[in-house]
Every structure is written in structure tokens, then in C-alpha cells.
Amino acid sequence: MPALKHAKLCIIGLGYVGLPLAVEFGKHFPTIGFDTNRNRIDELLAGHDKTLEINDEELGLATQLSYTSNKSHLHECNVYIVTVPTPIDQHNNPDLSPLRSASRLLGEVITQGDVAIFESTVYPGATEEVCIPIIEETSGLTFNKDFYAGYSPERINPGDKEHRVTNILKITAGSTPAIADFVDNLYQKIITAGTHKTSSIRVAEAAKVIENTQRDLNIALVNELALIFNQLDIDTLEVLEAAGTKWNFLPFRPGLVGGHCISVDPYYLTHKAQEIGHHPEVILAGRRINDSMGPYVTDRVIKIMTRRKIHVVDSKVLVLGLAFKENCPDLRNTRVIDIITEFQQYHANVDVYDPWVSKKDAKAEYGISPVSHLVAGTYDAIIIAVGHQQFKEMGVHAIKKLGKSTSILFDVKYIFDKDEVDGRL
């Protein structure tokens, strides 16, 4: 284990999690930001972050941070922090291929006394059962004798400019008591909110994976309530606001649950549960409800169109927003795509407008080419799918003008009052 003052860091993966971490560590330690995407490295070397998590001025403050896609540059480091994505496959099983690749890379560069710290969200046991054996096999070194491991799960919230990496309390863990202290002390150098050291890597892994599982279930509950209240012709938001007058009522709202965490992490936990012979019921029930909300929105809109005698086939539908959440360009696992796909199956013509997302990324990820300009009087139905600030600022009247005289406006995100729209989730 290196002395803290002699730590030389490498952050592996420079996405929404890795870059903010690299910038903060780069203010205190010699730090290399590594990513296999050469375009990403070139962009950062030019002083710009396309994810918009870090502005150009903030990038310049990390005076000890350098960037590379050349793994030969990593041998000079002694602390490696892995922040690669942990997605799911088409069958909702954990896809650990990015984590396995990062572990093989570590095995090629790690040396005697080095520490590998993982931030990627996984199921309990994954670090020591999947990653460590790969590092041992590739490097020929022995775990907890020649090299050590830590775990400190990320808590980044894309697009959130209030809760940043430094002011969110950090969970830490290490493979030995001494390494646990080292990892904790390392993060204390940048985390002003403080740290919480756990007794083991498995505890830290479990703590992270249930954070988003709990949130997923809470949203699933209000989504199911929305299904019920719609059948009863009761406005869901009005009910939630009334119930929210009690001090301990949790203020969750119904909606589309996408992104790289909330809609993914529960599947990691259920995978491990099933591996040990337990079939989760509540967690998977919540997932089923949340995964069904895109088709449900489409069904609601089509019913309103039918009542207005608007033919769905060959209709023009505008979907406002493609990102998985408001005020960020992150497209990962956006459930807005479910609405788009459902309408396309009805042979409707769907335009997507999102001022935040990259048109190149939308085309590559989903085969969608978002429109750049909106023309008044064009659409039979308009769906506000993401609560971007720009849509709020447009105002309901400007948005309605984009539609035909008989057009309907459906507000998934409760941006406008119920009397101003034709339907809400």
C-alpha cells in the first residue's frame, strides 16, 4: 500500500462518474484520467466535457490531472479507481463485460503494493468474486499479499448542480482493515461531506445497490397509484400533494424510470438473490410496473386522440424530451424510447425534440434523428416526456401552438396545471 502523500492515481473510465472524480483528485494528487474512447480524450484535452457535468473552467482547476487512452502510461500509478458502467443485457441480466475488461487492464498494469478501488455499482460479492480473480490471473499477483482492493460506490446524480461529488457523503471499504483506512483517508481529501467506512466490501456493495432499489420501489408505488386513480378519474398529483401535508409522507412522483442506476440496479440485486436460491417478489414487481409506464402513456394518449376522432395511423406526434431525466444530456436506458416505439407500431409519425441531447448519440443509440426546429400547427398530439427547463420556459401556450387546432397535449412530468393540458400521468 502506498503512503497517502505518495499516491499517484488513475481513474479508469471518464464518463459521468469518472470525470468529476478525476477532476477533484487532480486538484490534490498526480492523476491520470484513462478512457478507451480516443474521441473522449481529445475532447477533454481540448478543455470541454460534452456530458456537461464539468464546465470548462472547472476542468482547468485540476492542475495535476492528465488524460490518456494509452494503457502504457498507467504503469506509473499506484492507486487505480474503476468507474466503468455496469449495464444490463436484453434479458435484464447484469452485463459485467466493461468491469471484466477494466479488471484485465488492471491486471496488466498493477504492481506490488498497489490498490484497486471500484466505484461501479454491482451486486454484493462481485468485486471479490469477479474482478479480483481476473486481476490475479492477468497479473500473476496474489490478492491481499501483493495488491489490495477497495470499494467506494459512486453517488453521482447526472444534471444535478447542487449535489456534486464533493458534497455527497461517500461510503468506503477496503479488503483489509489497513486498506479500509487508506481508502477512507484518500476520499476524505476530496469529500467535504465526509465518509462512512463500512466493515467490508460486500457491505458497501449491498448498501449501494439497495439505494436505487428502494427508490425504484417508491416510484413503482406511485406509478401504480397513478394507474388506479386514472381509472377512478382522480388527479394523481392532487392526491399526492394532499397526502404530502403529513410530515413523514415521501414526496415521490409517478413517471418514466430510466437511466443507468434506478432502472438497472434492482436487476443486479435480484440476480444475486436468485443465485443463492431466493426469488425476489417485491423488487421484480416494482420493476414490472416501472417498465410498463411507457406503453401506458402511449395508451392514454391514443385513447384521448380516439375520443377527439384523431386517427392514430399517419398522425404526427411530437415527443418533447429524449434524455432519461431533466436538464442533462444522458440518454442511457431512457424509457422515452418506449413511447416512441409504441407510437411507431401504430404507424404514427413521431418527431422528437430535445435541446439537451446529442443528435449523433441519439442516432447511434436508438436510430432516432431528433428535429432541430419546431413548426407551429404541425402535430396531432404533443407529449411532454422530460421536464427540461426549456420546456417550462416555453410555456403551455407556445407548446400548444405547435399542434393543430384539435391537437392534444399530454404532460408526463406535471409541468403545467391540470386545467392547461388534456392529460397527465
Catalytic residues: 261
Distance in angstroms between the alpha carbons of the first and the last residue of the chain: 53
Instruction: Assess contact for 141 and 112: CB atoms under 8 A.
Output: yes
Separation of alpha carbons 11 and 208, rounded Å = 20
Q: Which of 125, 76, 81 lies closest to 102, judged by CA?
A: 81
Spacing of C-alpha 239 from chain mean position: 29
Which amino acid, 68?
Answer: T
- Could you tell me how far CA 190 lies from the centroid of its own chain? 22
Hunting for cell 483506512 — which residue is that?
A: 181
245 burial (CB, 10 Å; 0-12 / 13-18 / 19+) is exposed
Q: Quick check: helix, strand or coil at residue 332?
A: coil
Burial class (CB in 10 A: 0-12, 13-18, 19+), 307: exposed
The span from the CA of 378 to the CA of 398, in Å, is: 13
DSSP string computed for 84-149: ----B-TTS-B--HHHHHHHHHHHHH--TT-EEEE-S---TTHIIIIIHHHHHHHH---BTTTBEE
How far is residue 184 from each of residues 17, 31, 84, measured CA to CA in Å?
A: 18, 18, 21
- And the C-alpha cell for 217? 420501489
Q: What does the block give as the cell for 168?
A: 455527497
Helix (H) or strand (E) holding 348: none
Query: For 13, what's the count of Cα atoms within 13 Å in the CB-facing half-sphere?
Result: 23
For 11-20, give one letter per residue: b (16+ CB within 10 A) or e: bbbbbbbbbb
Closest among 71, 74, 82, 65 to 150, alpha carbons compared: 82
What is d(CA 388, CA 390) in angstroms, rounded to the nearest whole number? 5
